[in-house]
Structure 1
Amino acid sequence: MAGSLPAAPVPINRLAEPLLKKLSASLDRAAPSRGWRDLAQLAGSQGRVKLSSRELEQCSLQVLEPEGSPSWSLLQLMGERGCTVLELTELLQTLEHTEALQCLNPPSIKVVVEPESQAVLSGRMVKLSCWAAGCPLLHYQWFKEEKAIPHGNFPELVLNQVSADDAGFYICRVNSDYSYEFSHWAQLDVCDIQGACHGNCLDLPERKIHICIHPQSQNLLVGEKLILQCGAIGIPLPQYQWYRNGSPLTNGDKKVYMVSCMDTEHQGTYWCHVYNDQDNQESKKIKVIIGGKSIAVECSEEDVNDFEMSDLEEQSTERQFAIDKVALLMGNMNYYNHPKLKAPLVDVYELTNLLRQLDFKVVSLLDLTEPEMRNAVNEFLLLLDKGVYGLLYYAGHGYENYGNSFMVPIDAPNPYRAANCLCVQNILKLMQEKDTGLNVFLLDMCRKRNEYDNTVLILDALKVTANIVFGYATCQGAEAFEIQQSGLANGIFVKFLKERLLEDKKITVLLDGVAEDMGRCHLTKGKQALEIRSSLSEKRALTDPIQQTVTSVESLARNLQWAKAHELPESMCLQFTCGVQIQLGFAAEFSNVLIVYTRIVKKPPEITVCKAYVTDFPLDLDVDPKEANKGTPEETGSYLLSKDLPKHCLYTRISSLQKLKEDLTFTVCLHYEYAGVDDVVDERKVVNIGKPLIAKLRIHQGYRKKSCFQNSFMPNGPGFAPPPGAVEAGYCPPHHNHQPHSYAGFPQASPAHPGSLQPARCHCSTTPNRLVAWPATWSYPSSSSQSNIPVETTDELESDFSGSLRLSHQQ
C-alpha cells in the first residue's frame, strides 16, 4: 500500500517542484564528473537529449541569479525535449550519483508495529500504537473510520476514559515527503455495561479475556424468539463461538446468537466459547427450555356443551364496528445524508384519499426529522381510545434488526442506528395500551439487516389482544421498489394496495389479495413479496362502520385534534390603494404542505400592466423562491392538486409546516403601471394567516430525552461497531462520478466489508428487466471472513408494466 514515484514514462518536468529543487541542489553541489555538465554531456552522447553550446551557457549563467540553479535549467530543458524520469535514472546510475538517485527513489516506509484490535471496559484508557521505519522524518495521522482524529499525529494514539462512542475501526497513515503507508485496521470494542464485572475487571492481566456479559436461562414457547448474548473484554479482540449440547452452532460466531422461531429441537444447554490467540474462556452454561408450563382454562362439561357451532357461525357473520378510525401516514423522501426517494409523495397522497373514503381521520405528513416523527406519533396516539381503529403507514428508508423494524427520519446520520430512528414495535405497544379495536401497521420500506447498529432492543412483550396486523411491503432482508409513471412514482406495494383498499373484506384477506397481485408482477418476482403478520382473531375490516354509543371526552379530543391538523385559512380578498383587488386562496396537499394561490380579480382601466406575487416567508419553512409564484401547480412541485385548483392563478407551495414556530406571515407584492407612464409603482401588504394545518399541533418542539418512544438498548449487542468509511486522506482528491471512488493514499487492500448502509426503500430506472448492484465504494475491515452488512445498491428495472410505467430502485 506504500505510495512511490510512478514507474510510467513521465517527463522530468512533470515531477513535483519540491523534488525537482532537491534533485537540482544535489547536482549543483556534486563532485567533478558527477555534476550537471557531466549529466548534459552523457545525455547527448547517448542520444537521449542533445543541447547546444548556447543552451549550456544559459544554464551556466543561472549561477548569477540570487536563487538560480544551472541544474534546474538543465532538467527543465531535458524535460521539454521529452527526457523521462526513467531515462534520467539510468543516466544518474551511469554517473554513480547516489545522492540524486535517492531523491528519485526514496526508501520505502515499513510499519513495524501494528495497532491491535481490543475489547475494553468503558472508562478505561486505551492506547493504539503504530511505529514505522524507512525514512528519517516520518509523519503520522490517525483516523477513526473515515474521519481524521484531531491531534492524532503521534505514533501512539491515547484515548482516555473511552465510551461506547469511541467504539469503531482505527487506522494510521504514515508518510514521508514522497511516499506513504497505512497500518492495519484495528477494531475497538467498548463494553458499556454498568457494574458488569463487579469491580473484578480492573485487576485483570492486560491480555487476559474476561466475560462481562453471560447468557441467561430462558423458558420459551414454540414459535417465540431466542436471543442469547455474551460480551467479553480482552487484547487481542475476543472471538465468539456458541455451542448447544456440546456442538458448535452454525452462524454462532457473534456476540449475540438468535433463533427467530423456536421449536423443540432448539432446547438444550447453551454456552459461548470466547477466545483469542492469548487466552480462552467459556461463559456460564444455561438451559433453554421449550414448552414451559401449560396454561389451561377451567370450565365445566356444561360450559363445553353450551359452546355449540351455531354460536361460532353467529359470531363469524356478526358485523364488527369501530368506535372511531384514525390514521397517520408518514412519507420521508428528501433525506439529508441518504439517497432521496420519490414514491412516498404519491403513495401517501393516494392512501390519504382512499382512507378518507373509509371515514378515517387522516393526518398525512412528508419529510419529518426524528423529533418531528416522534411528536407526530405522540399526537396520533392521542387520537386512539378503546375500540378505535388505528392505522399507521410509513414510506421511506428503514431496516430490521432481530425482528424489530426501524423507521429512518430524514435527519438520520450516516450511518444511522436505533437511537436515531423510531422502533415500530415500541409504537405498536403504545397503541395496544390504548385498547384499540384494530392496529394496522403498513411498512413500505426495506428490511435489510443493519450491522452498523450494535444494540439489542429490550422490549416488553405485546399484550395478547388479537388485534395486530402487519403489512410489510417486502420480506425480511429484502428491498422495496417504486414504479415511475409520467414523472410521478408509486411504490410497488401501494400500486397493488390501492386497487383493493376499498374492498369490504377482513383486513388480512384484503392483504392476502394484494400479496397475490404482487406475486403476479413479473418485474419484482423473486425481488419483492408482501409479508403479512397477524394476530387478528375477529373479522375486522377497514370498511367496518363507525358506531359511537356515547360522545366521550376522548372522542371530542380526537375530533378537536383532527380539526386542528386540517384547518385551512379562509380565502381573502386584498384591496390595494390603486384599486386593484387580489384574491388569496389556500389548499392542502398534505397535512404539512400548503398551496397558496393568488389571482387579480379587479383592475382599474387606467392601469395597463399589473403583476402580483407572494414573498417573505418565514425561514423555518421550505419555500424555494425560484419555484414560487408559478403559472401552474406543477412548476412549484405540486403535481397532485393540479386538477382541483382554480385556473389562471399564481401558485406557491409551502412545505414543512410542522417547523412553523410563530404565525405564518408573508407579503403580497403588487407591481403596476399607469397608461402613458413608464415608472413602475409598488404596493405591499403583510398577511397573517395564523398557524395552518399541522402547524397548530406544534410538533416541531423536540421531545423530552426520556420519551415514551425512547428505545431500551442492550449495549454491545449483535455484531460489532460500524466499519469505517472512506478515509479522506491521500495525495489526490477523490474523483466524484458514478463509479466507485478512488482515493490516492487509501488502503485498497483492507479486508472486504461492503458498502454504505442505505438500502432502505427502493425505486427503479431505465435499464430493461435487470437488477444491477453497484460494487461497494470502499473495502472495510470485518471481524470475520464473511460479512452480511447490506451493500448499497442501485437496482434498475424497467418494463411496459401498465403501459408507460417504469420501475426504479433507490440506492
Structure 2
Amino acid sequence: MTSVSQDSHDNLLNINFLKESQLKRLCGCLDKANSKGWRKLGETVNTDRRFKVSLDDIEMCSLKVLEVEGSPSRSLLRLMGDRGCTLGDLAEFLRMMGHTEALQCLKPGIEILIQPQSGSVIAGHSIRLSCYAAGTSTVQYQWFKAKEEVPGGSSPDLVLSPVQLQDAGFYICRVNCGLASVQFSQWAQVDVLDVMPSYGMMSLPSEGRLRVVIQPKAQSLLMGDGLYLECGAVGRPLPQYQWYRNGVPLKNANKRKFNILYSMLEHQGRYRCEISCGTEKTWSSEVDVLVGPKSSFQFSGAMECSEDDFFVIGQSNSLEKPYATDKVALLIGNMSYQNHPQLKAPMVDVYDLTNLLRQLNFKVVSLLDLTESEMRNAVEEFLSLLHKGVYGLLYYAGHGYENFGNSFMVPVDAPNPYRSGNCLCVQSILKLMQEKETGLNVFLLDMCRKRNFHDKDMPNVMLKVTANIVFGYATCQDAEAFELSSSGFTNGVFIKFLKGRLLEDEKITVLLDRVAEDMGQFDPTKGKQALEIRSSLSERRSLTDPILPGDCLDVSQAHSLLWAKAHELPESMTLNFECGVKIKMGFAAEFSNVLVIYTSIVKKPEEMSYCQAHLINLSDLDPKMMNKETPEETGSYLLSGSLPQHCLYTRLSSLQKLKEKLVFTVCLQAEFTSLEEQVQWTMEVDIGKPLIAKLDLHRPTRRNSCQLTCNMPHSPCPSPIPSPGAERLPPHQIPCLHPQSCNSHLHVYEPLYGAAGCFGNVHTHSDYPYLYENAPYSPYAPLPSVPIETTDDVEDMQNVLMDSLHFFNQP
C-alpha cells in the first residue's frame, strides 16, 4: 500500500474549498495592480488547455472593481475552481509567475479557533481571556494591552488575577506560526468595576451570567449642578447599557456612566438603565433625580438659618417618593438538621435572594445552617444595624411552625420534638425592630406554619401599633411550604416566583400580590400552597426606594463599619519557602460564613522536578473537602466560574463556629532530579478571623438578647433540654407521623412531623439526587452547605416538571 502525505492530499483539493482566511489573503496579493497581479495569473492559466480563460472571462472579472468590496481575483479563482483547478495546479501557476508572496498564502498557516471575549469584572476578582489557534507548526502567543506587551502573556490564556483598576482596557493576542505566518486576534475589552465590599464578598456568576453590582443613586440638585449617574454589571460578553428617563430612552446615553454637566429643570425625573449581555437583559433600580431652582435656596442678608433648615428646604418638601436611611437584610437558610429531615432548597433560595437584594442596595448578611445560639446572636447583630428610617428585611428558609399566631424558626440543633424554648419567635424580633423606629420591616418566611402540638405555651408578645410592617408567608396558616426536587438546581416554590418580581419598582404589598397570583397559576402546588400577606403598610414603600442618609450620619457610618467588618476577606498573600518555591494564596467567599482558599505555585527552581503544596492541620474541617483540584470537588459550585484555574482548593463552611484565629499549615512537598527521596517544608499561616467569624456568633446568648421581649417560655435564653412529654405520647397523638396519600401525578408527599425527608422505607430525596455539572449530589452526603447556581427561567422549571418533577414538603 502506498502512503500519501498530507501535502499531497492538499494539492488535490479544489481551490473553491480554500478557507476564507486563506482566500482573503491570496486575493489581497493578486488584486494589487502590478506585473504579478490577477491579470497575469489569467494569462498564465490561459496557456493550460484544461483551464482555458478567455478574454471575455478576463473582462468579466475586471468589472468586479465596480462593486463595493468587489475582487477580480476572487472572481477569477472561482472561475478556475469551477473548471477543476486544484491547489497543486494553482501553486504551479504562481511559481511560473514567480509570485512567492501568493504562494505563502496557500500554506495553511494559522487559523484562530477561539477569539478572546470582552467582559466586565469586579476589581479584586479574576478574568480569563483565551485565544486558541491551529497551525502547521508550533504556535506561539503574545498578549498586548493596547500597544504594550503584557509581561508573562505568552500562553493561550491570559489570566488577570486579582484584577486591578489599571487592568481595564483593550487586549489583543498576536499568534505566530514560524517566521512568516502572523495573525492577530480580535480586540477584547476588559471593564473593571470599582465596587464596595458589600458586593465583592459574595460569589460571582458563572461565565455569561449577567449581574448588576453598581446601582445608580437618587440625587437632589440645584439648577446648574452636575448630574452624575452610574451603574455597572458583570458578565460576558461585555454588558451594554441604555439609560431611560421617565420610561423614555435617552439619546446617546449608552455608557455605564451618564453625565449632564449643567442640570436644568427638564432633567428632573426617574432614571434607570437597561443592561443587556448577549441575549440576557435586566434593569438597574429606578432612582429619582430632583432639580430645584436656585432662587428657592437664596436668602436675604438679614435672614439666618441653620444647616438643618437648609436640609429641610432642599429635600423634604420636594421628595415625593419614600426613601430609606439605609437597607439591611439578614438571610438564614437551615438545611442540615441534626435531629430532623434534611432540606435542599434553602441554600439555593438564600443565594438567589442575596444577589437580588444586593442589586437593590441592601447590605446583606447570608448565613447557612445555624444553631439556636448562633441564630439568636445573628439576629442581635442584625438589630444593631437598624436605626431610624432603615429598611430591615429578614428572610428565613427551613423548618418552622406557628402557634397562636406566632411564627417560630427552628435551628439546626433543635431537639426532636422541639418547643418554643428551642426556637426563635419572629414576633419577638419584630418588637425589637419597632423600637429602632425602622422605616420598613419586611419578613419573608419560607417555612411551614403547621401547629406544633408538643408546644402548649401561650406567647404574650406585646407589639406596638406601628405602620410599615409586611409579612410574606410562603404558605397559609396550618399548611406546608414546598420545595421542588429535580435533577438540576432548584428553588422553593416561594422564591421560584419571588425572584422574578423582586426588582420591580412596586409597592412591596403589590409586588407580593403579584407573586401570589403567579404561585396560584402553578398547577403542581395549586390548592396545596398559597402565599399569605399581612401588612400594616400606610405608605407606598418599595424595596427599590432610594437611600438618603438621615440625621444620624454618625450612627449610620458606625453601623456600616460594623457590617463591613463581617464581610472582610483575608488579603491574598505570597509564601516564600527557603528552597526557592513561591506560592500564591487567595481567598473568596460564597456566603457570609463560607470561605474558599485557593493556592497555586508560581515559582520553583529549575532543578526541582516536582512540587505541590497542601493545607494541613485544619482539624475542624472534613479532610475530604481539602486540597481539591477543582472547586466543584469541594462543593464550591458557585465560585467555579470566577476562581483562578490550576490551583488547589479548600472550602471552609460554618465560619461562625470559629472561636480563635484561623491558623493552618502549608506543607510543601518536592522532588529533585538529583535526589531519590521526597523533601518536605512547612509554613504556618494565620489569617485571623475571616468574614462572619469576627462577630463571634458562637458566644453564649446574652441575657438581654432578642428573646427577652415577652414573658414566655422561649425567653430569655436558649434551652438545651429537649421538650418533655413527647416520649409519653401515644403514636396516634403525634401529628404527621405517617405519610398521607401520595398523588401519583404530582408526587407530593405529606411530611414526617411536618418535614420533607424519609417516610418509613420510602427515601424520597435519595431517589432523586441533584446533579452538579453532571456529577450526582445527595443531600445525605457530607456537603451540608453547598450553594447552587440557579436559572432564572420559570419556563425551564416548568419543562422539568413535565419530565417527572417531584415535590417535597419543606416545613
Taking structure 2 as the reference length, the TM-score comes to 0.52
Secondary structure of 2:590's counterpart equals strand
Residues 775 and 467 of structure 1: CA distance in aligned 2, closer, same or farther (over 3 Å): closer
* Cα distance in 2 for residues equivalent to 1:550 and 1:706: 28
Residues 560 and 791 of structure 1: CA distance in aligned 2, closer, same or farther (over 3 Å): closer
2:669 to 648, 655, 671: 671
* Cα distance in 2 for residues equivalent to 1:531 and 1:415: 27
Q: CA deviation at 1:649?
A: 1.4
Q: Is the 8 A contact 2:400 2:448 kept in 1?
A: yes
1:684 to 682, 685, 689: 682
Q: CA deviation at 1:456?
A: 0.6
Q: CA deviation at 1:495?
A: 0.9
Q: CA deviation at 1:365?
A: 0.7
Aligned residue number for residue 333 of structure 2 = 331
Residues 371 and 518 of structure 1: CA distance in aligned 2, closer, same or farther (over 3 Å): same
Aligned residue number for residue 636 of structure 2 = 638
Q: CA deviation at 1:711?
A: 6.3
Residues 767 and 643 of structure 1: CA distance in aligned 2, closer, same or farther (over 3 Å): farther
Secondary structure of 1:560's counterpart equals helix
| CA displacement 1:734-759 (0-9 Å, x = unmatched) | xxxxxxxxxxxxxxxx6722456799
Q: CA deviation at 1:369?
A: 0.8
Aligned residue number for residue 410 of structure 1 = 412
* Cα distance in 1 for residues equivalent to 2:651 and 2:745: 35
Q: CA deviation at 1:722?
A: 6.5
* Cα distance in 2 for residues equivalent to 1:758 and 1:789: 11
Aligned residue number for residue 489 of structure 2 = 488
Secondary structure of 1:489's counterpart equals coil
Matched, 1:507 2:508: yes
Query: What code does the residue aligned with 1:687 have?
Result: V
Q: Is the 8 A contact 1:335 1:411 kept in 2?
A: yes
Secondary structure of 2:408's counterpart equals strand
Aligned residue number for residue 425 of structure 2 = 423
| CA displacement 1:618-667 (0-9 Å, x = unmatched) | 53xxx211121112212111222221211221111101111111111111
Q: CA deviation at 1:526?
A: 1.2
Counterpart mapping for 1:171-250 below 5 A: none
Residues 810 and 791 of structure 1: CA distance in aligned 2, closer, same or farther (over 3 Å): closer
Q: Is the 8 A contact 2:379 2:706 kept in 1?
A: no
Query: What code does the residue aligned with 1:345 have?
Result: M
Q: Is the 8 A contact 1:415 1:757 kept in 2?
A: no
Counterpart mapping for 1:366-385 below 5 A: 366-385=368-387
Query: What code does the residue aligned with 2:406 have?
Result: N
Q: CA deviation at 1:483?
A: 2.3
Count of residue correspondences: 454
Q: CA deviation at 1:425?
A: 0.3
1:647 to 630, 645, 648: 645
Counterpart mapping for 1:90-489 below 5 A: 318-460=320-462, 462-489=463-490
Aligned residue number for residue 77 of structure 1 = none
Structure 1: segments with no counterpart, 5+ residues: 1-313, 728-749, 777-787
Aligned residue number for residue 624 of structure 2 = 626
Q: Is the 8 A contact 1:756 1:791 kept in 2?
A: no
* Cα distance in 2 for residues equivalent to 1:662 and 1:672: 31
2:732 to 723, 741, 752: 752
* Cα distance in 2 for residues equivalent to 1:681 and 1:758: 60
Residues 667 and 758 of structure 1: CA distance in aligned 2, closer, same or farther (over 3 Å): farther
Q: CA deviation at 1:696?
A: 1.0
Secondary structure of 2:692's counterpart equals helix
Identity %: 63
Q: CA deviation at 1:772?
A: 3.2
Secondary structure of 2:671's counterpart equals strand
| CA displacement 1:681-730 (0-9 Å, x = unmatched) | 111111101111111111111113453414645679xxxx9664499xxx
* Cα distance in 1 for residues equivalent to 2:756 and 2:393: 30
Q: Is the 8 A contact 2:475 2:529 kept in 1?
A: yes
* Cα distance in 1 for residues equivalent to 2:329 and 2:529: 25
* Cα distance in 2 for residues equivalent to 1:459 and 1:444: 22
Residues 443 and 751 of structure 1: CA distance in aligned 2, closer, same or farther (over 3 Å): closer
Secondary structure of 1:470's counterpart equals strand
Matched, 1:594 2:595: yes
Range with bigger deviation, 649-658 or 539-548: 649-658
Q: Is the 8 A contact 1:423 1:711 kept in 2?
A: no
Residues 715 and 342 of structure 1: CA distance in aligned 2, closer, same or farther (over 3 Å): closer
Secondary structure of 1:379's counterpart equals helix
* Cα distance in 2 for residues equivalent to 1:554 and 1:501: 29
Query: What code does the residue aligned with 1:803 have?
Result: N
Q: Is the 8 A contact 1:766 1:808 kept in 2?
A: no
Q: Is the 8 A contact 1:468 1:534 kept in 2?
A: yes
Aligned residue number for residue 770 of structure 1 = 747
* Cα distance in 2 for residues equivalent to 1:766 and 1:601: 58
| CA displacement 1:193-219 (0-9 Å, x = unmatched) | xxxxxxxxxxxxxxxxxxxxxxxxxxx
Query: What code does the residue aligned with 1:659 have?
Result: K
Taking structure 1 as the reference length, the TM-score comes to 0.52
| CA displacement 1:88-134 (0-9 Å, x = unmatched) | xxxxxxxxxxxxxxxxxxxxxxxxxxxxxxxxxxxxxxxxxxxxxxx
Residues 457 and 525 of structure 1: CA distance in aligned 2, closer, same or farther (over 3 Å): same
* Cα distance in 2 for residues equivalent to 1:495 and 1:606: 56
Residues 430 and 369 of structure 1: CA distance in aligned 2, closer, same or farther (over 3 Å): same
| CA displacement 1:216-257 (0-9 Å, x = unmatched) | xxxxxxxxxxxxxxxxxxxxxxxxxxxxxxxxxxxxxxxxxx
Query: What code does the residue aligned with 1:360 have?
Result: F
* Cα distance in 1 for residues equivalent to 2:617 and 2:738: 36
Aligned residue number for residue 50 of structure 1 = none
Q: Based on CA coordinates, which of the two structures has the bigger radius of gyration? A: 1
* Cα distance in 1 for residues equivalent to 2:451 and 2:444: 19
* Cα distance in 2 for residues equivalent to 1:437 and 1:469: 11
Aligned residue number for residue 804 of structure 1 = 800
* Cα distance in 1 for residues equivalent to 2:563 and 2:713: 39
Aligned residue number for residue 658 of structure 2 = 660
Q: CA deviation at 1:537?
A: 1.1
Residues 757 and 585 of structure 1: CA distance in aligned 2, closer, same or farther (over 3 Å): farther
Q: Is the 8 A contact 2:501 2:515 kept in 1?
A: yes
Range with bigger deviation, 767-776 or 379-388: 767-776
Q: Is the 8 A contact 2:746 2:807 kept in 1?
A: no
* Cα distance in 2 for residues equivalent to 1:416 and 1:373: 16
Query: What code does the residue aligned with 1:704 have?
Result: R
Q: CA deviation at 1:486?
A: 4.6
Structure 2: segments with no counterpart, 5+ residues: 1-315, 715-722, 769-794
Please provide the CA RMSD for this pair. 3.3
Residues 758 and 566 of structure 1: CA distance in aligned 2, closer, same or farther (over 3 Å): farther
* Cα distance in 2 for residues equivalent to 1:579 and 1:376: 45
Q: Is the 8 A contact 1:770 1:796 kept in 2?
A: no
Secondary structure of 2:365's counterpart equals strand
Secondary structure of 1:804's counterpart equals helix
* Cα distance in 2 for residues equivalent to 1:329 and 1:566: 14
Query: What code does the residue aligned with 2:574 have?
Result: C
Query: What code does the residue aligned with 1:640 have?
Result: L
Secondary structure of 1:579's counterpart equals coil
Q: Is the 8 A contact 1:757 1:791 kept in 2?
A: no
Residues 448 and 795 of structure 1: CA distance in aligned 2, closer, same or farther (over 3 Å): farther
Q: Is the 8 A contact 2:757 2:764 kept in 1?
A: no
| CA displacement 1:532-557 (0-9 Å, x = unmatched) | 11100100000000011446221012
Query: What code does the residue aligned with 1:415 have?
Result: P
| CA displacement 1:40-89 (0-9 Å, x = unmatched) | xxxxxxxxxxxxxxxxxxxxxxxxxxxxxxxxxxxxxxxxxxxxxxxxxx
Q: CA deviation at 1:611?
A: 1.4
* Cα distance in 1 for residues equivalent to 2:499 and 2:485: 16
* Cα distance in 2 for residues equivalent to 1:317 and 1:512: 27
